[in-house]
Structure 1
């Protein structure tokens, strides 16, 4: 009787202990970290004190106490400035930092969940800029950079442009859309054709339309019919094209298979040689897209916009550097910027070709990657842009970090440029920012007509 009671009591106590721990874990999972940079602009001078505040709150927005919280303050992810662990209280926790050079400070604040610290969407990441308009270039343009890409352009143009069109239905009235495919020479790791959706206003007259190219962000997917059609409805001839020359309109399973198979880890393919680089092939499809859109009789010959986000934003910068006929580059959180940044103690942008984090040692392979990467670096193409430029940047972006974006922006050799700072934004192109981009695109069209 006594033993049975003891066993039952022990089982009850164990169950209670487990339930209590599960409750603690569940509560921690429900908590989130909120905060801000105390200065609204999040822009500071060198050696000026930067201040952030953060609070742990529950689902009702009330402060949560006695939670273990970790913070890490870095030089935009490149190196750690300060880190530590503290217990949350009812009052916001204040953090300070300084930089004695142009750049960015990043802070990450995370609650301990499941007995470990790991950033989640419920945690906090913020950034602040220190004289970002003075962030320098990482290197000069390679002496044969222009010659290399002039040769690649000649290679693309030497292959006759024979577009294959397939009519596509659209619910947008007054617009004609076709599925487009054009054979395009590429690099050793990327030999696919240009594929996309081309849309134009029905019955558009020759020489009457502005043109827009819509390159894609990272990933493996079909081209976007709706986006091309939407711009055609506004009076553009528009080409939305996927990054990999894949067939359009396939089931999602097809693109998932491509992503897991031949296109798995595509950014790193051929990265030790500029001739082999996957991005060399991607940019040659961009050259073909520029050639195609400019050859359309409906183009007015005056307005050519390239708009994209992330990898698409990087391609927009590349397009502006490749072709002086591009009149507006609209690049949100652009990728592929400043591949050599580690050599100058700067955080580099996606896909961080040479290393995902700052390398402890720079071996021969690292040096080969950085050297080849200069020829596919969007920050280098930025030095050649002649047209108007619009860029957006998230100070909390840990993918296309703001240091790399500002490096590209500062490389643009003229003042007909604008950068939209979003201090609390991560790697994103939210709807309100898309609307702001479209307003500026509309203004550009009106000014050029």
Structure 2
């Protein structure tokens, strides 16, 4: 049974929602620029090379768009996230120079970091050449009982009542959309919270589950898609309400939830993300229970940690018919144990002092790595990222992308890092929305 009540939230909540609407809607990064720009560009227009093919990096330093007359810069060249294989200084001529970057003998990404110091301040730029990235193979192993592990978890979840409690948020509602703060029974003893936006006009609508990027924050809901006739459900993952004052989340981020991606990593049954992954399925349960939702028209979308959760949700629950994932985290996390970049949260990177490099923790990762979920995705997906991502290295998400057997559309914008251009959102929307409002896949109510 779904319980609905109405509550008037303080004006602070409305202001907070407006402030966060664009900046943290799905956990996507924002473009950050300064008037000093250090541009590093591989000499192939698509930034792609064959293994063994040499790459040259063009370096350009500008101030307010004008080349800096003279400057000496420092540079490092290395496989992404690894130690430099070549370092030195470079003299610019009218703000520009060309640097011999060498090559890579096998599939991967070669990065050039450039540092320019002007007026006592250091500025950084980077460029990343891709060597046959669609042939990058994952390092993470698939546990023999992977499917059984998650089927057991889903069965435990299904035995729990939904106990959905919906609180109308009148100050966020519009002429066309009702907005609710939702509180559900989650996996184990946890609760799941989110913001639900439902078109007011009577009828059946497609649904979009929005899963969050990393961090602890409030959410405001996706009014944009709801105004276009889609029921949207934007969830948090930490078992706390998503409409509290911002300082509550800041305190949790600095305190009780600091470092949450490594909580209980030594035990696959108690690892932090077990509840998170299964509660994404619980969010689908909730959407499917709503009388306004066409449960044959459900999709999932997210970026970074949310990109990972999009793939995980689609793999665990066949009621999801389409997914959108931007630069998915939690992918091929064991890369560092095999001499190359691993995915966020970089559990096995050298700067962690190898504290997680134990048999139990490595074993746990196999049950949660996005690569292993990607192997079981059966629905079409839209994916987008760039090569300059320092948070989620492209080696890691190509490891997941390359094992996908389902239909997949990839939109690469090479110069982007852990952020997106508006055009990437527009491409994703242009891919997803016609499917939600027009296509009608075969009816199914069961889970995989």
State how 1:296-335 maps to structure 2 within 5 Å: 296-335=290-329
Give yes or no for contact 2:307–2:326 (8 Å, CA) kept in 1.
yes
CA change 1:298–1:447 in 2 (3 A) is same
Shift of 1:36: 1.8
Match of 1:88 in 2: 92
Cα distance in 2 for residues equivalent to 1:389 and 1:356: 33
Asked which structure has the greater RCO (Cα within 8 Å, sep 6+), the reply is: 2
* 1:352 matches 2:346: yes
Q: Is the 8 A contact 1:309 1:429 kept in 2?
A: no
Contact map agreement 1:393 1:405 (CA 8 A) in 2: no
**Structure 2 Cα separation of the partners of residues 251 and 64 of structure 1:** 48
Match of 1:37 among 35, 42, 45: 42
**Superposition pairs for residues 186-197 of structure 1, below 5 Å?**
186=188, 192-197=190-195
Contact (CA 8 Å) 1:220, 1:258: kept in 2 or not? Answer: yes
Q: Is the 8 A contact 1:321 1:381 kept in 2?
A: yes
* Alignment equivalent of 1:181, drawn from 180, 183, 193: 183
Which residues in structure 2 correspond to 1:250-269 (within 5 Å)?
250-269=244-263
The DSSP-based 3-state class of the residue aligned with 2:93 is: coil
Using the alignment, how far apart are the partners of 2:383 and 2:287 within structure 1? 23
Q: Does the alignment pair 1:158 with 2:152?
A: no
Q: List alignment gaps of at least 5 residues for structure 1.
A: 1-28
Which position in structure 1 is the counterpart of 2:399?
A: 407
Three-state SS of the structure 2 residue aligned to 1:405 is: helix
In the TM superposition, what are the counterparts of 1:125-274 in structure 2 within 5 Å?
A: 125-169=126-170, 170-186=172-188, 192-205=190-203, 208-225=204-221, 227=222, 229-274=223-268
Post-superposition offset of 1:356: 5.5
Q: 1:340 corresponds to which residue?
A: 334
1:56 match? 61
Contact 1:78–1:357 (CA<8 Å) still a contact in 2? no
Report the Cα distance in structure 2 between the residues aligned to 1:147 and 1:193, rounded to whole angstroms: 24
Deviates more, 1:138-147 or 1:377-386: 138-147
Give the distance between the partners of 1:204 and 1:431, measured in 2 at CA. 32
- For residues 251-300 of structure 1, what are the alpha-carbon distances to aligned partners after superposition, in whole Å with 9 as ceiling and x for unaligned? 11111111112111111211222122111121122121121112222222
When normalised by structure 1's length, the TM-score is 0.85
Offset, 1:90: 1.8
Rounded to whole Å, the distance in 1 between the matches of 2:294 and 2:431 is 19
Deviations 1:47-66 (A, max 9, x none): 1112220122223512231x
State the alpha-carbon separation in 1 of the partners of residues 78 and 352 from structure 2. 12
Secondary structure (helix, strand or coil) at the match of 1:133 reads helix
Q: Distance in 2 between matches of 1:252 and 1:174?
A: 28
Paired residues, number: 405
Report how far residue 87 of structure 1 moved: 3.1
1:94–1:368 Cα change, 3 Å: farther
Once the 2 structures are TM-superposed, how far is the Cα of residue 42 of structure 1 from its aligned partner? Answer: 0.8
User: Residue 292 of structure 1 corresponds to which residue in structure 2?
Assistant: 286
Contact preservation (8 Å) 2:104, 2:131:
yes
Distance apart, 1:230 and its partner CA? 2.1
The answer as to whether partners of 2:335 and 2:341 remain within 8 angstroms in 1 is yes
- 1:439 aligned onto 2:430: yes
Q: Aligned-pair distance for 1:363?
A: 7.9
* Other structure's SS at 1:152 match: helix
Look up the match of 2:363.
371
- Asked whether the equivalents of residues 56 and 64 of structure 1 are also in contact (C-alpha less than 8 Å), the reply is no
1:374 positional shift:
1.3
Deviations 1:43-88 (A, max 9, x none): 11111112220122223512231x3311111112234232212333
Report if the CA contact (8 A) 2:187-2:275 is conserved: yes
Cα separation, 1, equivalents of 2:49 and 2:434: 31
Q: 1:45 to 1:357 in 2, by over 3 A?
A: farther
Contact 2:348 2:356 in 1 (8 A): no
Question: In structure 2, how many angstroms separate the alpha carbons of the residues matched to 1:353 and 1:366?
Answer: 11
- Paired position in structure 1 for 2:415: 424
- CA RMSD of superposed structures (Å): 2.2
1:396 aligned partner: 388
Q: CA deviation at 1:334?
A: 1.0
Partner deviation per Cα, 1:201-259 (whole Å, 9 max, x = no partner): 11332xx211110011111111222x1x2222111121101121221221111111111
Structure 1 residue 137: Cα displacement? 2.1
Superposition deviation, residue 411 in structure 1:
1.4
What secondary structure does 1:185 align onto? Answer: coil
Secondary structure of 1:218's match? coil
